[in-house]
Amino acid sequence: MKVAPGEFFLQGNEACVQGALASGVRFFAGYPITPSTEIAEGLAAKLDGKEGVFLQMEDEIACISAVIGASWGGVKSMTATSGPGFSLMQEAIGYAAMSETPIVIVDVMRGGPSTGQPTRASQGDVMQTRYGSHGDYQVIAFAPASVQEMFDLTVAAFNYSEKYRVPAFLLSDAEVGHMRGLLTIPDKLDIIGRKEKGIRRSDEAYDVPDELVRPFPVFGKGHRTMVTGMTHTDNSWIEPEDVKVHQELVKRLSEKVLRNRKDINKWELMCPGSKTMIVSYGSAALGAKEVAASDDKVGLLRLKSLWPFPEEPIAEVARNCDRILVSEMNLGMMYSEIKRVALENGCKKVELLSKIGGDPPTPSEFRHKLREMGVI
């Protein structure tokens, strides 16, 4: 499925569909849920059986299971959901991490817990993305803040999931998913394909990035692959009782992501060197952008990726400022992580502007908070 280059006026969720198609998605399984449904609808229109398969399934557990199954068939596969569906997917996300299956999961976040606010934005799933399944594992997650980034970071999610054989997430929200704006699709995109076992490519981008990532043995090609969620050796011997095998496997699953933080992490920096820096992401950062653009005392570090945790840019910012204001649409989830890194790196004060209920913090709410802090 080729995507036509050019400029388009689209909804965020529609831009995600374009990004998935541009990345070469060949399988999508979904279940209707607000506010992510437009992604399923968009792909239902495009994946007609010949260009790829769209499947509406009985629940979100079935969806993510089928997506993992499809990935072992050798195709790029994804699902899209929101809070309650995302919670249902957690066990299988752990399976994807353990079996090192490249898949993309889009979570258009809405207010929780439980059914909460189906039509309103939130950033309440950031920790569920990182810790939602049992056991130790690492994932890759991006946080778009515009229609353009819904496209760009969907492509990034596909690329990094293939590169490191991990589940990758697009953590959008109802605000970004439903906003309309300009999307520019470039003539040429860097797309990373499946690094298949037994196929050597000259293209650098297809090479396994380091010794921690194994080539992917696609089903039906005579590899006689065994895939399991149980503790296993490199050649898939099930060894649930072997301490050493478990340690080596689980540490490698984390290390292959953590060691490549510099390759994965993305951010935007406005007015670096300001004594007060706002650290934010997704739609919570929209108001902060306006403040940083208009007030020279305030800078902004906008995180475009959340996991693996971008310690380096936060540490760099913390070393050069006096105080940090973290803004997010939950009661302080990334705040504790950001605060830890900032304090370790000499920043004196880390405050939180938290807003739940569905509306992103406005520029005037940022200014009010900054006045309280004595910054402006």
Partner 1 sequence: MEIFDFYRKDRWPHVFCPGCGNGAVMNCFYRAFNELGLELDKTAFVGGIGCSSRIPLYINSDALHTTHGRAIAFATGLKLAKPELKVVVFTGDGDLGAIGGNHFINGCRRNVDMTVICINNNIYGMTGGQASITTPHEFLSTTTPRGNKEYPFDLAEIAVAAGANYVARWTTRHVHELTKSIKAALQKKGFTFVEVVAQCPTNFGRRNRMADPTQMLEWMRESSIRRDKAKANAVDHVDLNLEGKITVGEFVDRNRECYEELIGVSKHG
Q: Within a 10 A sphere around the Cβ of 148, how many other Cβ atoms?
A: 18
Least Å from the CB of residue 227 to partner 1: 5
Those residues whose C-beta lies under 8 Å from the C-beta of residue 203, and which sit 6 or more positions away, are none
Site for partner 1 in 215-234 (CB under 8 A): 218-230
* Alpha-carbon distances of 221 from 74, 179, 194, 197, 294, rounded to whole Å: 10, 43, 14, 10, 58
List, as own/partner pairs, every contact residues 200-205 make where C-beta atoms lie below 8 angstroms and the sequence separation is at least 24, other chains included: none
What distance in Å separates the CA atoms of residue 318 and residue 350, rounded to the nearest whole number? 10
Least Å from the CB of residue 67 to partner 1: 6
What distance in Å separates the CA atoms of residue 203 and residue 226, rounded to the nearest whole number? 28
What distance in Å separates the CA atoms of residue 93 and residue 68, rounded to the nearest whole number? 9
Nearest CB to partner 1, comparing residues 65 and 305: 65
Per CB under 8 A, does 65 bind partner 1? yes
Nearest CB to partner 1, comparing residues 63 and 325: 63
Site for partner 1 in 308-367 (CB under 8 A): none
Kind plus residue range of the DSSP H or E element containing 17: helix 12-23
What distance in Å separates the CA atoms of residue 281 and residue 304, rounded to the nearest whole number? 6
Residue 137 in tokens: 């594992």
Nearest CB to partner 1, comparing residues 58 and 203: 58
Residue from 41, 91, 248, 290 that binds partner 1 (CB under 8 A)? 91
- Apex CA 228: angle with CA 224 and CA 231, to 5°? 125
Least Å from the CB of residue 71 to partner 1: 8
Nearest CB to partner 1, comparing residues 15 and 80: 80
Q: Give the total of residues touching partner 1 (CB under 8 A).
A: 45
Residue from 10, 40, 66, 109 that binds partner 1 (CB under 8 A)? 66
Q: Is the CB of residue 61 less than 8 Å from the CB of residue 86?
A: no
Nearest CB to partner 1, comparing residues 26 and 256: 26
Question: Which stretch, 25-33, 145-153, 283-291, 301-309, contacts partner 1 (CB under 8 A)?
Answer: 25-33
Nearest CB to partner 1, comparing residues 20 and 334: 20
Least Å from the CB of residue 46 to partner 1: 13
Nearest CB to partner 1, comparing residues 234 and 255: 234
Q: What is the torsion angle, in degrees rounded to the nearest 10, for the CA atoms of residue 208, residue 104, residue 229 and residue 247?
A: 50
Residue from 34, 41, 69, 250 that binds partner 1 (CB under 8 A)? 69
Residue from 75, 208, 245, 249 that binds partner 1 (CB under 8 A)? 75
- What's the one-letter identity of residue 356? I
Nearest CB to partner 1, comparing residues 74 and 181: 74
Question: Which stretch, 21-29, 108-116, 198-206, 318-326, contacts partner 1 (CB under 8 A)?
Answer: 21-29
Per CB under 8 A, does 241 bind partner 1? no
Site for partner 1 in 36-55 (CB under 8 A): 48-50, 52-53, 55
> Hunting for tokens 């979570």 — which residue is that?
107
What distance in Å separates the CA atoms of residue 230 and residue 232, rounded to the nearest whole number? 6
Kind plus residue range of the DSSP H or E element containing 183: strand 180-185
- What's the one-letter identity of residue 235? N
Least Å from the CB of residue 220 to partner 1: 5
DSSP 111: E
Per CB under 8 A, does 62 bind partner 1? yes
Residue from 12, 21, 72, 161 that binds partner 1 (CB under 8 A)? 72
What distance in Å separates the CA atoms of residue 91 and residue 346, rounded to the nearest whole number? 39
Binding site for partner 1 (CB under 8 A): 26-27, 29, 48-50, 52-53, 55, 57-59, 61-63, 65-75, 77, 91-92, 95, 194, 218-230, 238
